[in-house]
A and B are shown apart, each in its own frame.
Chain A
Amino acid sequence: MRRGAHVLACIGLVLVVALIGFTAGSGMESWATLTLINICLVIGLYTFSGNSGVLSFGHMAFAALGAYTVALLTLPAISKGILLPNLPSFLASAEVGGVVALLIGGLVGAAAGLIAGVPLMRLNGIAAGIGTLALLIIVNVVLVNTPSLTGGQDSLSGIPLATTLGSGTVWTAAIIVIAAAFTGSRVGLKLRAAREEEVAARATGVSVFPERLMAFTLSAFITALAGGLYVQHLGTISADALFLQYTFMVVAMLVVGGVRSLSGAVIGAIVVSGLSEILLRLEAGQPLGPLQIETRPGVREIVLALFLLLVLARRPDGLTRGRELFSRRFGKSAEPEAEPGA
């Protein structure tokens, strides 16, 4: 099949989600927008973990940084005076447009990724998992305990709502293109070589650390941008909204779809978001077609966790088995490809 067919397929899936949001009504517009944001978050994680094979529990830290940056840059100066009286003066008076704020938020995330990546990218396997988890906790502790910038435990609200279903679709498509371009690039190829066989990759001249650092920085940028989209959709942000629970959701989405492919990231985000919405509606007592099942708070999370465990046990490479949509070997058994993706 043609190179890049899977990129078009992924964008097609995004358009389907958007179409459902535009036409289905009854709160589906908000679901579709949140699903698009989830796709962006999962692609952010995929850009690093999918290509490098190194797990990260820390990406939500970048989403939180992006979200707070956007919040501080777009909140009207009057609300800032009330909510955050001790803000440094350059932030207190700053009021920039939604798109500019998103990009600045992404850059703040990228800078944080670059700085955090210098130590973290030297770690492998379990050490990387624990190290990135430590990063998530450090950022959370700092956000919660710096009330002059973030409002501390309380949430910030009144942030101008700039993420619509339309703008979300455009951003998601752009992020898919960026992630696919990176995956197909020289650096992406080197990274996947190191993922499959680190020793052999090193022996053929891949130094691993700079490639991982680049991927981490780019994925931090994408994730922070997604965090900005999130806050511009909900209009409110708290440090604990983008912490362990959401980390679990994003990791689950990526693993369910298949860590090793971009299509997997998109499909996983859509499947888990869809399942989550159905369970949420059951919880709220809405009938689902002819079915009327009463559930209680907590059931949604339990079903999602069971679903994830089932996928991990039965199909550890995810629903896509780590293949791209429309690639020659899509759906075949899980042997590592000679030249994956692209």
Chain B
Amino acid sequence: MQELLQDVVNAVSLGGLYALMALGVALIFGVMSLINFAHGEFIMAGTYVLIIMSGIFLPLAIFAAIALVVTLAIATERIAFRSVRGADPSTLLVTSFAVSFLLQNVGLLIFGGRARSANFLPSLNEPMVILGLEITRLDAATVVVALVLIGGLAWFLEKTSMGLEMRAASADFRMARLLGVEANKVIATAFAISGILAVAVAALLLIRTGTATPGMGLQPVLIAFVATVIGGLGRLWAAAAGGFLLGCLTVALQQGLPEDLVAYRDAFLFGFVILVLLVRPGGLLGKSALRERV
């Protein structure tokens, strides 16, 4: 029982982190059907800024990271993605693949290939014991940050006119434009929000691992894809739920797989992705079919 509860705590904490990763990708997919590989590099950039500023006043570091990553996200959209907007999905996919590769190597050029590390908020890694469960402050912080950001995003989408326009754009982009939604503004806003989500992920990852490398964005962005696909492409809350589900699945596989198969955990996860795509191409919680009607 105790062990099971401990696993649940780990799953929820991991799931919160994964949900934040998934939301950043799902938000962009919603407004322009673009699967943004470069989201991982937004996280990478945020992590480096936090490391460089880590000695300084904490809110300032976080503010600097948000400012830089949001600028980077908007610039990426303006320079690379705007020119291919509306192209077929494979062109968009290849474009974002190229942007990700580009930013990763710019990171390599600026910061070098060796890992950089910093003690970022080390006190959060200390465990607290609550009801016999070992919970690090980081676990609690992850869940709180995830809930606050998801709640904030939900408020933004439901209660502001920009949020309304964004929801309209994800439902039917062309119709929304005909009704006066400014495409450039909505898409830029979506990129800005995904930048903020990327910084949150960067901070939480940095507390967990303490290091950054130019290639660090790959793992989170793959997790984000998996979570988005499992939850459902095109629905934000489904992507967030997919993140939590993926957290649970990861912990369950880690605990449940026979010992000699644990090394292959990620192979099982990605096998599950293919299975979901086959059985429910729209995701477990999404629309049941993606095929366009004629």
Question: Using a CB–CB distance below 8 Å, which chain A residues touch chain B?
Answer: 53-55, 57, 119-120, 122-127, 129-131, 133-135, 137-138, 141-142, 145, 199, 244, 248, 251-252, 255, 296-299, 301-302, 305-306, 308-309, 312-313, 316
State how many angstroms separate the Cβ of B72 from the closest Cβ of chain A: 15
| A137–B113 alpha-carbon span in the complex (Å) | 23
- Cβ of B84 within 8 Å of any chain A Cβ, yes or no, is yes
Q: How far apart are A163's CB and chain B's nearest CB, in angstroms?
A: 27
The verdict on B2 contacting chain A, using a C-beta distance below 8 Å, is no
B106 contacts across to A, CB distance below 8 A: 298, 302
Bound CA span A144–B218, Å:
17
Asked whether B80 lies within 8 Å of A309 as measured between CB atoms, the reply is: yes
Residue contact B277 to A123, C-beta cutoff 8 Å? yes
A251 pairs with B264, CB closer than 8 A: no
Q: Are A138 and B294 in contact (CB under 8 A)?
A: no
Q: Which residue of B lies closest to A308 (CB)?
A: B98
- Give the chain B neighbours of A313 by CB distance below 8 A: 80, 83-84
CA distance A316 to B261 in the complex (A): 43
Contact among B95, B233, B270 for A137, CB-based, below 8 A = B270
Neighbouring A residues of B275 by C-beta, 8 Å: 119
User: How far apart are A71's CB and chain B's nearest CB, in angstroms?
Assistant: 21
A324 to B113, CA, bound (A): 41
Q: Which residues of A contact B84 (CB under 8 A)?
A: 312-313, 316
* Bound CA span A305–B95, Å: 9
B273 at interface, CB cutoff 8 A: yes
User: Do A298 and B108 form a contact, CB below 8 Å, given A137-B222, A316-B87?
Assistant: yes
Most chain B CB atoms below 10 A, which of A124, A297, A308, A312: A312
In the complex, the answer to whether A138 meets B102 with C-beta atoms within 8 Å is no
B97 interface residue per 8 A CB criterion: yes
Closest CB-CB distance, A259 to chain B, in whole Å? 8
Is the pair A130, B225 in contact by a Cβ cutoff of 8 Å? yes
Contacts of B233 in A (CB 8 A): 126
CB–CB A312/B91 < 8 A: yes
9 A-B pairs with least C-beta separation: A305-B102, A313-B83, A301-B105, A298-B108, A134-B270, A298-B109, A145-B263, A55-B90, A141-B267
Q: With A and B bound together, what is the CA distance between A302 and B41 in angstroms? A: 14
CA distance A302 to B105 in the complex (A): 6
Q: Is the CB of B278 within 8 A of A296?
A: no
Q: Is the beta-carbon distance between B290 and A134 smaller than 8 angstroms?
A: no
Contact of A297 among B33, B95, B113 (CB under 8 A): B113
Q: A127-B277, A145-B263 are in contact. Are A309 and B90 (CB under 8 A)?
A: no
From the candidates A120, A296, A308, name the one contacting B109 in the complex (CB within 8 A): A296
Q: How far is the CB of A200 from chain B (nearest CB, A)?
A: 9
Given A123-B278, A316-B91, do A305 and B98 touch, yes or no (CB 8 Å)?
yes
Asked whether B271 is an interface residue with its Cβ less than 8 Å from the other chain, the reply is: yes
The listed residue (B95, B102, B267) touching A142 by CB distance below 8 A is B267
> Do B271 and A309 touch (CB < 8 A)?
no
B281 in the interface (beta carbon within 8 A):
yes
List B contacts of A54 (CB < 8 A). Answer: 90
Query: B196 contacts the other chain (Cβ, under 8 Å)?
Result: no
B101 touches A312 (CB 8 A): no
Is the Cβ of A309 less than 8 Å from the Cβ of B95? yes
**A-chain residues with CB within 8 Å of residue B99 when the two chains form the complex:** 305, 309
- Closest chain A residue, CB of each to CB of B290: A127
How far, in whole Å, are A181 and B290 apart by their CA atoms in the complex? 34
The docked-state distance in angstroms from the alpha carbon of A302 to that of B104 is 9
Q: For residue A55, which residue of chain B has the nearest CB?
A: B90
Measured CA separation A111–B18 after assembly (Å)? 35
Cross-chain contact B274 with A312 (CB below 8 angstroms)? no
Q: A302 touches which one: B109, B226, B263, B273 (CB < 8 A)?
A: B109
* Assembled-state Cα–Cα distance A299/B110 (Å): 11
Chain B residues with CB under 8 A of A134: 226, 270-271, 273-274
Q: Which of B98, B222, B263 contacts A309 (CB 8 A)?
A: B98
B50-65 interface bits toward A, Cβ cutoff 8 Å, 1 = contact, 0 = none: 0000000000000000
17 A-B pairs (CB sep. < 8 Å): A54-B90, A126-B89, A127-B290, A130-B225, A130-B277, A131-B273, A138-B270, A142-B264, A297-B108, A301-B101, A302-B102, A302-B106, A305-B102, A308-B94, A312-B91, A313-B80, A316-B91
In the complex, chain B residues whose CB is within 8 Å of the CB of A129: 35, 89-90, 93
Instruction: Give the chain A neighbours of B104 by CB distance below 8 A.
Output: 301
Instruction: Tell me whether B98 and A312 are in contact (CB under 8 A).
Output: yes
Indicate whether B159 reaches chain A with its CB closer than 8 angstroms: no
Q: Which residues of the other chain, B, contact A308 by a CB distance below 8 angstroms?
A: 94, 98
Kindly provide the distance from the CB of B207 to the nearest chain A CB, expressed in whole angstroms: 26
A130 in complex: contacting residue of B101, B109, B229, B294, CB < 8 Å: B229
B227: min CB distance to chain A, Å: 12
Of the candidates B94, B222, B226, B270, which one forms a contact with A55 in the assembled complex, judged by CB atoms under 8 Å apart? B94
A129, B37: Cα distance in complex, Å: 12
Q: Is B266 an interface residue (CB 8 A)?
A: yes
Q: Is the CB of B218 within 8 A of A138?
A: no
User: Chain A's nearest CB lies how many Å from the CB of B183?
Assistant: 17
